[in-house]
Homo-oligomer: A and B are copies of this chain.
Amino acid sequence: MLSISHRGTIMPASPIRKLVPYAEAAKNKGIKIYHLNIGQPDIETPKKILDAARNSDFKILEYSHSAGNESYRRKLVEYYQSVNININYRDIIITTGGSEAILFGFLSCLDAGDEVIIPEPFYANYNGFAVAADVVVKPITAHIENSFALPPMEEFEKVITEKTKAIVICNPNNPTGYLYSKEEMEVLKKIVLKHNLYLFSDEAYREFCYEGTHFSAMQLNGVADNVVMMDTISKRYSACGARIGALVTKNKKVTETALKFAQARLSPPTFGQIVGEAAIDLPSDYFKETKAEYKKRRDLIVKRLNNMPGVFCPQPGGAFYAMASLPIDDADIFCQWLLESFNYNNETVMLAPATGFYGTEELGKKEVRLAYVLNCDDINKAMDCLQKALEAYSKRNAI
């Protein structure tokens, strides 16, 4: 028999997308679903940047440079300067989404069997790229009671072995919304210097910080060779379908190596690069408005959640996610039940069970992630649904 590869067999299906068939069935029954399950922003992509692609006038849709258009890379330097990250355009490789930046980072720095430490809960697709690169994820647990702050240095050191090559963080964090402080970043610096590790820093949500300011791994002094930043325009400009990201590092050996992987796949998408380049010229109040909108939603959803009996949701400092613990035994079953067996006024809510974000089995079973990518009215309605659902669910369990 022809066999599927081992890595293909252990490759996890998307924990977020696995509920999709139940959602489709619910929709077919005429039930309206509030989607808080996936980080697809509802905020419109700035018309100006879509128009840049739509008004393009090239006659041949050509390959670009494998590292991305030089004009875009040079423009990006301006953007990074505006957030106090000082780099050269040669430190940037444009990737097909932040996803490819993660893959190129892993492939360039890690070999099969190498280990990466990731504070859990973490972005589930890190697992996917780890499997693709035959790399082993060693999770260390961040706790909801502690708002998912960075675990202390000892926790990292407990799992560091000679195979450990890197730490992966996402800041602000998906799925927790936690924003790492400068002090926490300094702890990470101490660890990577002491143990000679790469620090992969996924900063997809950099612009969405609601308390304090973002401190980038690229701003740490003395670890220029250790830090590899993964970035993307997907969330920043509601441009997920552009599939444009970037791998950014001052470590020249890493950019040289990543460029070879980039050359093998020829180039990132052309239209997406035009969108990305146009985004740098958006007026400076673009983020202000978007951020104000997300902050309003965050305040609402956190308040609504914490007002429900038995629910706890720590205040997220950034991104557009909140993690909440619910008075339930199994979030996977509950989230499926919400779609299969519940509705309130013919409406229900779709959430992401947190189990998919933990590397350690059995963790997160009472937790869900909520992406506040709906307007406040819809969030209120979604929270009405959730509140009624939790009441019904506890009664159902009592039977």
A interface, CB within 8 angstroms of B? 1-2, 4-9, 11-14, 17, 40-45, 47, 50, 53-56, 58-64, 66, 96-97, 99-100, 103, 107-112, 114, 125, 127-129, 132, 134, 196-198, 225-226, 238-243, 251, 253-254, 257-261, 263-272, 275
Contact = CB atoms under 8 A, between A and B. Distances in A.
B128 A263 contact: yes
A220 to B, nearest CB: 15
A128 B66 CA distance: 14
Contact of A61 (B55, B241, B254): B241
A41 to B, nearest CB: 7
Contacts of A112: 112, 134
Given A111-B6, A260-B13, A269 B240 contact: no
A175 to B, nearest CB: 15
Given A11-B264, A61-B275, 14 more contacts: A4-B253, A5-B110, A7-B107, A11-B257, A14-B66, A17-B263, A50-B58, A53-B53, A96-B269, A100-B265, A103-B265, A128-B261, A128-B264, A271-B271
A4 B7 CA distance: 23
B40 A62 contact: yes
B261 A11 contact: yes
Contact of A268 (B40, B61, B243): B243
Given A240-B61, A257-B9, A125 B264 contact: yes
Given A17-B263, A132-B264, A263-B14, A251 B2 contact: yes
A4 to B, nearest CB: 5
Contact of A66 (B6, B17, B263): B17
A195 to B, nearest CB: 11
A108 B4 contact: yes
Nearest to A233: B61
A55 B53 CA distance: 10
Contacts of A258: 8
Contacts of A66: 14, 17
B9 A265 contact: no
A259 B380 CA distance: 35
24 contacts: A2-B196, A2-B198, A2-B225, A2-B251, A5-B257, A8-B260, A9-B257, A11-B260, A14-B263, A40-B62, A42-B60, A43-B60, A47-B59, A53-B271, A54-B56, A96-B269, A97-B266, A112-B112, A134-B134, A242-B270, A242-B271, A243-B266, A243-B270, A269-B272
Closest 4 CB pairs of A and B: A128-B264, A241-B270, A271-B271, A8-B257
A267 B241 contact: yes
Nearest to A232: B266
A4 B253 CA distance: 7
A277 to B, nearest CB: 14
A257 B4 contact: yes
Contacts of A272: 269, 271
Contacts of A261: 8, 11, 128, 132
Contacts of A62: 40, 240-241
A81 B339 CA distance: 38
A372 to B, nearest CB: 16
A127 to B, nearest CB: 8
A5 B61 contact: no
B240 A266 contact: yes
Contacts of A6: 111
Q: Which of A53, A55, A251 has the most CB of B within 10 A?
A: A53
Contacts of A14: 66, 260, 263-264
A211 to B, nearest CB: 27
Nearest to A6: B111
